[in-house]
Amino acid sequence: MLNLWYKNAVIYCVDVETFMDSNGDGIGDFAGLADRLDHVEALGATCIWLLPFYPTPNRDNGYDITDFYAVDPRLGTLGDFVAFTHAAHDRGLRVIVDLVANHTSIDHPWFQEARRDPNSRYRDWYVWSKEKPKDIHEGAVFPGVQDATWTYDEAAQAWYMHRFYKHQADLNIANPEVREELEKVMGFWLQLGVSGFRLDAVPFLIEYRGVPEEERPKDDPHLYLNELRSFVSWRRAEAMLLAEANITMDQVNEYFGPSGDRLHMIFNFMLNQHLFLSLARKDAEPIRRVMAQTPAIPLKSQWASFLRNHDEIDLGRLPDAERGEVFSAFGPAPEMQAYGRGIRRRLAPMLGGDEQRLKQAFSLMFALPGTPVLWYGDEIGMGDDLSLAERNSVRTPMQWADERNAGFSTAPSEQLVRPVVSGGAFDYRSVNVVAQHDLDGSLMSTLQRLIRTRRACPEIGWGRCRVLETSETSVLALRYDWHGETVLIVHNLADHAVEVQVSLDEVSRLRPLFCDEDDRTMRDASEPIHLSPYGYRWFRAHGERR
């Protein structure tokens, strides 16, 4: 059997800057992260995804890079990166890193040279226009804070293209020298031991916007994804590409590749938006709907499932009325929303701090087809800080303990990279790792149990998934089959108890694996299943089959 580690991984996303500060300067760093690997390991994660940690003026949380081959000095040295990676590997944890191939900071020496000197070899590494482009206001990703996608540069006497903020100039991916350089960047980090990349902004990477027609490669732009795949695979067999690509279901085949030889994994943004609609409606229909629309994917491909991440929840693919439903349930106030399309809150405040709902949301995410990805701090139900700009609201320091600065740093509080959440229901004095550690029933312990259960169910990553009919629309019943094994997982999204009959061909007995009640009794598969409000139950088919 192919050993495709990412098919059943549990990925934990960390922002080094806000995780743990080892030297008391108020900024998280690699030494601090290495010191807190116990936490990640105890949680049961199998892979750490690092948000960008490269040198940066930090105008977009590190997604504005000035050197692809180094570590931002505020976070440590390259030596600290290697020491951290080594420590992670010692614990059986893989490391993947963010790769921002679509753009650089305008402070990057490549861009600086490109703008200063029209004859520089770097000029054509970016996308320029001598004339003012007609579409300068089209396609801005951050409406409200970004007003154009082209900006005039005095030194260059030309307009440069930027899909994101104006301080992030798009690279010209049609230029073979840029492709070669990006390979060098990937080769560099692979050589340092990473197991792959979270590829930023993939749809923009392959669209060649602004590149003159005659300079664009004539073949299908998706073939660039084959090129990236084969490069990383030859450099390191286990290397995995996880794409940030908010695509529709009709694009799925083009991104995974007809035989699964493009991107290994793609974040399932469609499922994410429908999951929140389901939670808002207390009805599983939106999830069933999107699952029915999802095409089968090749064996080597995998979805990445998530609840929250470092950005806003992007609800842009939902029709206005449905997006409105999610807004009114989870982000009704204007300051909770972002860019007219999303919610910039953490999961716990969205669900009103309701532990049963939180546990269910995680259980649901782990039960859906794909590999679960967690955002640091959500495992303890951290809150957010809406007084911070844009998406920084969900990027506050990790809450380790009821100690000064939540145990994140010994620096004076005003020196912290961002303030810790204090006051209100999510105050670090009550919501922290120490408070939940080894405490039966705490969110963190439940998540640990859930992760253990999920890791013991390879059927979910590998198997065939079927959505089963039940009489209750609030119930999502999933059946996975793989190598003669069967797993059944049921969730009740309603706020009232229900009882459902699930018909299971070829299965006679069910053994409870994980649920919100203390249930250890083997049951007959034909018995109705009771589910409490927001309840969940995981079973494995046991013993003789009919």
Question: Counting contacts by CB under 5 A, is residue 23 touching Ca ion?
Answer: yes
Burial 178-203 (b: 16+ CB within 10 A, else e): bbebbeebbeebbeeebbbbbbbbbb
Smallest distance, ligand NOJ to C-beta of residue 93, A: 22
Q: Confirm or reject binding of residue 63 to ligand NOJ (CB under 6 A).
A: yes
Catalytic annotation, pick one of 72, 153, 170, 200 = 200
Q: CB-based burial of residue 486 (10 Å sphere; 0-12 exposed, 13-18 middle, 19+ buried)?
A: buried
Q: Is 201 in the site for ligand NOJ (CB under 6 A)?
A: yes
Say which entry of ligand NOJ, Ca ion, none residue 266 contacts (CB below 5 to 8 A, set by partner kind).
Answer: none
Residue 472 as a binder of ligand NOJ (CB under 6 A): the answer is no
52 vs 60: CA distance, rounded Å: 10
Q: Is 27 in the site for Ca ion (CB under 5 A)?
A: yes
164 binds ligand NOJ (CB under 6 A): yes
Cβ–Cβ < 8 Å for 341, 276: no
- Residue of 15, 64, 244, 516 marked active site: 244
CB nearer to ligand NOJ: pick between 164 and 256: 164
Site for Ca ion, residues 151 to 190, rule: CB under 5 A: none
Distance between CA atoms of 260 and 248, rounded to whole angstroms? 17
Whether 244 is catalytic is yes
The site partner of 182 among ligand NOJ, Ca ion, none (C-beta below 5 to 8 Å per kind) is none
Query: Helix, strand or coil for residue 365?
Result: helix
> Which range binds Ca ion by CB under 5 A, 3-11, 16-24, 39-47, 200-208?
16-24
* C-alpha gyration radius of the chain: 23
Q: Does 338 bind ligand NOJ (CB under 6 A)?
A: no
Give the residue among 226, 224, 223, 231 at the shortest CA–CA distance from 191.
231
* Residue 53 binding ligand NOJ, by CB under 6 A: no
Interface with ligand NOJ includes 311 (CB under 6 A)? yes
Stretch that binds Ca ion, among 7-15, 17-25, 129-137, 309-317 (CB under 5 A): 17-25
Q: Which residues in the 204-263 window bind ligand NOJ by CB under 6 A?
A: 244
CB-based burial label for 1 (10 Å; 0-12, 13-18, 19+): exposed
Do 344 and 391 touch, CB atoms closer than 8 A?
Answer: yes
Minimum CB separation from ligand NOJ for residue 463, in Å?
Answer: 30
Task: Calculate the CA dihedral of residues 151, 211, 105, 120 and round it to 10 degrees.
Answer: -100
15 binds Ca ion (CB under 5 A): no
DSSP assignments along 299-317, one per residue: TT-EEEEES--SS-EE-TT
Residue 391 beta carbon to ligand NOJ: minimum distance, rounded to whole angstroms: 7
80 is a contact residue toward Ca ion (CB under 5 A)? no
Contacts of 459 (CB under 8 A, 6+ apart): 480, 481, 482, 483, 485, 486, 487
- Asked if 100 touches ligand NOJ (CB under 6 A), the answer is yes
Strands of 259-365, DSSP E = 265-267, 302-306, 313-314, 337-338, 342-343
Binding partner of 390, given Ca ion, ligand NOJ, none, CB within 5-8 angstroms per partner class: none
Binds Ca ion (CB under 5 A): choice among 5, 25, 35, 532: 25
Cβ proximity to ligand NOJ: between 28 and 461 the closer is 28
Question: Distances from the Cα of 388 to the Cαs of 417, 425, 488, in angstroms?
Answer: 12, 18, 42
Asked if residue 21 binds Ca ion (CB under 5 A), the reply is: yes
Q: How many CB atoms lie within 10 A of CB 349?
A: 22
Contact 342, 391 (CB under 8 A): no
Task: Catalog residues that contact ligand NOJ under the rule CB under 6 A.
Answer: 60, 63, 100, 164, 200-201, 244, 310-311
> Catalytic residue positions?
200, 244
Task: Catalog residues that contact Ca ion under the rule CB under 5 A.
Answer: 21, 23, 25, 27, 29
